[in-house]
A and B are shown apart, each in its own frame.
Chain A
């Protein structure tokens, strides 16, 4: 690195911040310690940065803005609450009348309400993955911590990752409810840039095979499009696995 390259890099340097942790900036700072002319330039640049930071922070905030935000929110909630009460009363009335009218029909045709089918599981879990920005119960890149976290909470933790998925970067996990049992959700990154707030774009769900009435037989993964995701489903041991990401069959095939 020469002096001019160092100056270009140090242009983004703000003293007193974590900028110095950046390896390029750290190298340029080290050069400045050995190069008096670069050191003089850096001193002036740092002073200029400090002055500019101070100028930006002098932007005056209008008096009463905080109170205005809080009071308007309270008014909104009050209005919403009054309207909501009317809606709730009307809804209850309609529901009672409907129940009375439909009870004989329901009694004659009732069947189990719980949808513990594989399709129900797929739809439910894909909705979870797409309800972004997505946040996890545990954010970590350590697969061991994820297994420990899940095991401590009695969620499926003895899962087996396919070879492709073992190479993907893990970012965390969450525990989702499924038909009175727990489903494990593990988040990975495909390597593509993530939208803000998102911490993964590749999701693996694991659930006990017994919780599904029509779990697929052990065999190669079945690829299908569910909602906006491409998914792969397979059974291994006493677990059913659902892997999902955006893209096509080739995109998900990389992780199987």
Chain B
């Protein structure tokens, strides 16, 4: 039972990745702090309902994402995009060129993605979550996660290629 989870240990273990996820969604330190804190407040109130302690981390990320969506008051239903609809064109930017960008520039590119692509891409890079775990956190089917990742990564790489100094956009196709 999650009742036995010590609050301070829980915070110590998870606040950093949660903040990083929150910041990647909001790009605002204050908003990200609020979201992180709110997530732990909800845990303090409802965490005892969680029976499977192994799900704590997923629960926290799910809650943070829900709070983020709630704060944005988005009511539009997200479109389902099939994987095979994703464009195969990928602008290629070299690892060295990406390395010359700083984290702020990468997050700026992330922020320019449509909101439905932002969270899966952030979870993909930040936490190394599996596709199934991302699907669980975001409450969307696995196929949709993969399609959103494919589209999101394609767009992110395109934006990075545009911003990277000296990068020559190329096509994925050869």
Chain A residues within CB distance 8 Å of chain B? 3-4, 7-8, 11-12, 14, 16-19, 22, 37, 41, 44, 47-48, 50-53, 55-59, 61-62, 65-66, 68-70, 72-73, 76-77, 131, 133, 135-137, 139, 174, 193, 195-197
Contact = CB atoms under 8 A, between A and B. Distances in A.
A44 B94 contact: yes
A135 B46 CA distance: 13
A66 B141 contact: no
A59 B11 contact: no
Contacts of B137: 196
A70 B128 contact: no
Contact of B90 (A3, A11, A73, A174): A11
Contact of B95 (A14, A44, A65): A44
Given A59-B107, A136-B52, A8 B150 contact: yes
23 contacts: A3-B174, A4-B88, A7-B90, A11-B150, A11-B172, A12-B124, A12-B150, A18-B130, A22-B131, A48-B95, A52-B106, A53-B125, A55-B125, A56-B122, A56-B125, A56-B126, A59-B23, A61-B15, A61-B16, A68-B33, A72-B37, A135-B51, A197-B58
Contacts of A41: 174
A35 to B, nearest CB: 11
Nearest to A41: B174
Q: Label chain B's interface by main secondary structure.
A: helix
Given A3-B174, A58-B103, A59-B23, A51 B95 contact: yes
Given A12-B153, A61-B16, A66-B15, A52 B125 contact: yes
Interface residues of B, number: 61
Contacts of B94: 44, 48
Contacts of A193: 140-141
A149 B143 CA distance: 34
B49 interface: yes
B74 interface: no
B38 to A, nearest CB: 10
Contacts of B136: 196-197
A57 B174 CA distance: 32
B75 interface: no
Contacts of A133: 49-50, 59
B156 to A, nearest CB: 8
Contact of A14 (B107, B128, B138): B128
A134 B173 CA distance: 46
B55 interface: yes
A137 B1 CA distance: 9
A18 B41 CA distance: 32
Contacts of A77: 44
Contact of B37 (A16, A51, A69, A174): A69
Contacts of A11: 90, 150, 153-154, 172
B99 interface: yes
B51 A137 contact: yes
Contacts of A76: 41, 44
Contacts of A8: 86, 88, 150, 172
B95 A47 contact: yes
B27 to A, nearest CB: 10
A59 B95 CA distance: 19
Nearest to B16: A61
